[in-house]
Structure 1
Amino acid sequence: MPIKDAFGLAFSGATEAGFAPYSQAVRQLQCFIGDPVAAVDRAITQDPGFVMAHVFKGYLFGLATEREAMAVARACHEAALPLAATKREQAHVSALGRLANGRWHEAAGILDDIAIDFPLDAVALQVGHQIDFFTGNARMLHDRIARASPSWQSDMPGYHAILGMQAFGLEEMGEYIRAEKLGRTAVEIEPRDGWAQHAVAHVMEMQSRQRDGIAWMRANPEAWTRESFLKVHNWWHLALFHYDLGDTDEVLALYDGPIYGARSMLALNMVDASAILWRLYLGGADVGDRWAALAANWAPKAGAANYAFNDAHAMMAFVGAGLDAPVRTLLEAQREAMAGNDDNATFTRDVGHPLTLGIKAFGEGNYPEAIGLIRPIRAIANRFGGSHAQRDVIDLTLIEAALRAGDGALATALTAERSMARPDSPLAALFSRRAADLSEN
């Protein structure tokens, strides 16, 4: 008889000895803590025929957005293919195969079907939710979890993760009050749930509640930073609140400390580093030699072009550091990517390539060209992934380009739009004053 979990789901090829570290890996991913790869490796060593252990490891690498990691995900898929599996597990193997080969949307669809049939399949829900994030699918960030929610009870293991994911989905759909309530509840249940912590931070970012956001992040940082692989991103959220308040010194202190003091080579962490430095760059802040150090770490990835969202943030670093060679490498790699037939070809063609060129034009002081490249993609920018908070850098760049180009009409229109969305934002007020000054002169 196959091992069954607390929800009655069967796990082919697993023994109790192998299932224990697998369960640990799942719990770690639900909180974004520890080393789930090491845990699932222990499960595979114990039970080489444990199909879901191979699949889960593949998911971890497939969601890393690194070219080298995708090769590991494909190897995990190959290892899983011949193993005994239930229909549910076979669907997971199929989903991993799609993800490992850049078919993000197909993988998301298969995982959705699994969760509809098995709403207590926590892995299907969580991996699907992450793919929805990486593909910028706000509707599914909400709906995927909403469909399963009635099947979950508060005494079930991992319930906090369901609440945290639902909170983020609600936030991305603009349902801020419910999002904050569920996110706070998730953190009360499991203080180390970094995703739920981040969902509440997103609410406060979108509502321009800077002081509330700082208080929320500062209240118990030990909980969301200890052994957390989401901690850099959550520190980035704290920096955003200080950025909106114009507290540049605190932003730089956070950058030099928990955001990029360790100078991570992981793309997910470098994205956050680029994103905060670029925001300061737009405001004319002197960031010293920080760009050079960050660009040096991006340079080896310039030719990857496997995830367009990363490319745009790499370009920010290259522009900030004044480098030419990696810019050429990146743009050539993007042109090759657009000739492909995976989902990233579309991500790059629709949003990533024009945005990357727009960032380059901005750095060159060609603000009209930057405007021409960035304006058409704003309404479809979700197609290349990320959250509303992350993609806000596109709007910030466009507003600054309009102001620097001396385009008073466009600057006035864009700043009015931002003031309507963020009426309590000091940065929005600053933009409005600058636009008014431009129109008067």
Structure 2
Amino acid sequence: MPTTRTGELASIDMDMSIAFLAQNLGGYLSEGRVDKRSSAYAKALTAFELLCNLNFRDREIALELISGDVLTSLYDMFPNVVSALFSWASGDLIATRQYWVAHLKLVPSDIVVSFMLHMLDFLHGHSDCYEQYLLDDARCGSPRLGGFYQGVLAFSLCEQGRYIEALPIALEAHQKNANDVYSLHALVHAWHGVENHGAVVNHLQQVDAWRHNAGMNIHVSWHMAISLLQSGRLEPSVTAYRAFRALSAGHDAEQDLDAVNYCIRLYCSQLPGPDFSTEYALLARNWAPSIYNSLSYFNDLHAAIAFMLAGDRTLLRKLKKRPPIRVLDKDLQKVGSQLISAISSFADGDYMACARELHSSQSQWYRIGGSRAQREILEILLKFTLRFADVSPAKTSKSEATSS
């Protein structure tokens, strides 16, 4: 059960740690900071980063990192925060959320834990829960961290489809601290939501700080590339794609979400462009280990698309036949299975079956997590399949007969 004691907990000022979090998220592993910083907080934050990757491997590493007496001093101050990390690393998502909610009841001004809970809900498709703890304008007044919090707040509004409300908040947040990548990220999402792709491109070309943020530079570069693509500017879009692919550290699948997301958009656009077959093969190879390592159907969707683009039916079949992710609820397992099946049908050229699977699961797409902007690929695929459903009439007829 969540700990409910107060005392020194309520008097702790978390401002110093959120600045640490906001500017360095994603940087510890790539820059070797775990070895250099042995403090309990650094290890807890690294564990949080690893858990956000949503795979068995990194969950085990996170659990090992925070096990034993490593976090004793942090637990004494923030028992619910540490208990939440242990619960997440142990696969108990319900308890994770309960602990962080309990902490926020004691320390409602804690922007660090607001962000952590936000990420848990974001990754697991619970944008409907944001209003419980994020829509608190009082926290925006923090002289040092108000901009960061406003950025998270604006992003949460975007994920509820409230782009018009999000835009002025994101603009104000970005003006408070132009170097804060999260307020910039929220601003980009707000512009994306109102289809102002020109504003995205122009602003990202004018500001520079995001390019040096190890945790977000790849993703923000993806926004640049897809905004250029949406504007019909194919050549600079592909150039932007090549630029963020060059930032990828090694061949871990977690680095390739944005790459796959871009590639399926390019594929469905049918714009005459360069041959991407080698790129597709590399992405499929990178995603192969994720088949039995994944804790996310959002990740699985991108893995399936990578296999489909590469024409690797063997990997796609393995993913489709893999047991469901049992730590997730059965409704989510069903949605995830439907989406993988839809991509498999797409790979077979059975566009009608693909469209049927996508349409039947459409109201539940949000459950797989990720942002609305990232999940746009499902809308793009649905429109593509409906447009070309009559390309293979034999397979279409077969699908109709099978389903009747």
Shared fold (TM-score greater than 0.5)? yes
Report the CA distance between 1:135 and its aligned residue: 1.5
1:153 aligns with 2:144: no
| Conservation of the 8 A alpha-carbon contact between 1:63 and 1:131 | yes
Per-residue CA distance 1:370-412 (angstroms, 9 max, x = gap):
01211111111111101111111111101110110149xxxxx
219 and 141 in structure 1: CA distance in 2 versus 1, 3 angstrom threshold: farther
**Residue 373 of structure 1: aligned partner:** 357
| Conservation of the 8 A alpha-carbon contact between 2:44 and 2:71 | no
**Residue 311 of structure 2: aligned partner:** 322
319 and 362 in structure 1: CA distance in 2 versus 1, 3 angstrom threshold: same
Q: SS at 2:292's partner residue?
A: coil
Separation of aligned partners in 2, 1:400 and 1:137: 28
| Conservation of the 8 A alpha-carbon contact between 1:71 and 1:100 | yes
1:30 aligns with 2:33: no
- Counterpart amino acid of residue 361 in structure 2: I
Separation of aligned partners in 2, 1:264 and 1:376: 37
Separation of aligned partners in 1, 2:202 and 2:73: 50
Separation of aligned partners in 2, 1:126 and 1:268: 20
Report the CA distance between 1:331 and its aligned residue: 2.2
Give 1:188-203 correspondences, 5 Å limit.
Answer: 188-203=175-190
**The one of 71, 90, 96 aligned to 1:101:** 90
**The one of 188, 194, 199 aligned to 1:212:** 199
Report the CA distance between 1:352 and its aligned residue: 1.6
Give 1:205-284 correspondences, 5 Å limit.
Answer: 205-220=192-207, 222-260=208-246, 262=248, 264-284=250-270
Report the CA distance between 1:267 and its aligned residue: 3.5
- Counterpart amino acid of residue 153 in structure 1: G
> Could you tell me the TM-score, scaled by structure 1's length?
0.78
**Residue 402 of structure 2: aligned partner:** none
| Conservation of the 8 A alpha-carbon contact between 1:163 and 1:182 | yes
> Could you tell me the TM-score, scaled by structure 2's length?
0.85
Per-residue CA distance 1:231-273 (angstroms, 9 max, x = gap):
1111111122122222222222111122456475343431110
Per-residue CA distance 1:114-171 (angstroms, 9 max, x = gap):
1122022232111111112101222333442224x4255331x332221110010111
- Counterpart amino acid of residue 27 in structure 2: D
**Residue 419 of structure 1: aligned partner:** none
Q: SS at 2:214's partner residue?
A: coil
169 and 193 in structure 1: CA distance in 2 versus 1, 3 angstrom threshold: same
Report the CA distance between 1:281 and its aligned residue: 1.3
**Residue 292 of structure 2: aligned partner:** 303
Report the CA distance between 1:326 and its aligned residue: 1.7
243 and 31 in structure 1: CA distance in 2 versus 1, 3 angstrom threshold: same
357 and 260 in structure 1: CA distance in 2 versus 1, 3 angstrom threshold: farther
For CA contacts below 8 A with separation 6 or more, give which structure has more relative contact order.
2
1:137 aligns with 2:137: no
Q: SS at 2:78's partner residue?
A: helix
**Structure 1 unaligned runs (5+)?**
12-21, 408-441
1:363 aligns with 2:347: yes
Separation of aligned partners in 2, 1:72 and 1:259: 26
71 and 356 in structure 1: CA distance in 2 versus 1, 3 angstrom threshold: same
**Residue 174 of structure 1: aligned partner:** 161
**Residue 328 of structure 2: aligned partner:** 343
Per-residue CA distance 1:350-380 (angstroms, 9 max, x = gap):
3222111111211221011101211111111
Which stretch has the larger CA shift, 382-391 or 292-301? Answer: 292-301
| Conservation of the 8 A alpha-carbon contact between 2:226 and 2:262 | yes
**Residue 127 of structure 1: aligned partner:** 116
Per-residue CA distance 1:271-318 (angstroms, 9 max, x = gap):
110011011112334534211121121122222232111111011111
**Residue 398 of structure 2: aligned partner:** none
| Conservation of the 8 A alpha-carbon contact between 2:336 and 2:368 | yes
Separation of aligned partners in 1, 2:128 and 2:69: 31
Give 1:36-51 correspondences, 5 Å limit.
Answer: 36=28, 39=33, 42-44=36-38, 50=40
Per-residue CA distance 1:2-25 (angstroms, 9 max, x = gap):
xx89x83189xxxxxxxxxx956x
- Counterpart amino acid of residue 371 in structure 1: A
| Conservation of the 8 A alpha-carbon contact between 1:141 and 1:168 | no
Q: SS at 1:145's partner residue?
A: coil
**Residue 412 of structure 1: aligned partner:** none
Q: SS at 2:67's partner residue?
A: helix
Report the CA distance between 1:86 and its aligned residue: 5.7
Q: Percent identity?
A: 22
Report the CA distance between 1:59 and its aligned residue: 1.3
**Residue 430 of structure 1: aligned partner:** none
109 and 259 in structure 1: CA distance in 2 versus 1, 3 angstrom threshold: farther
279 and 64 in structure 1: CA distance in 2 versus 1, 3 angstrom threshold: same
Per-residue CA distance 1:75-99 (angstroms, 9 max, x = gap):
2342358825667622112211221
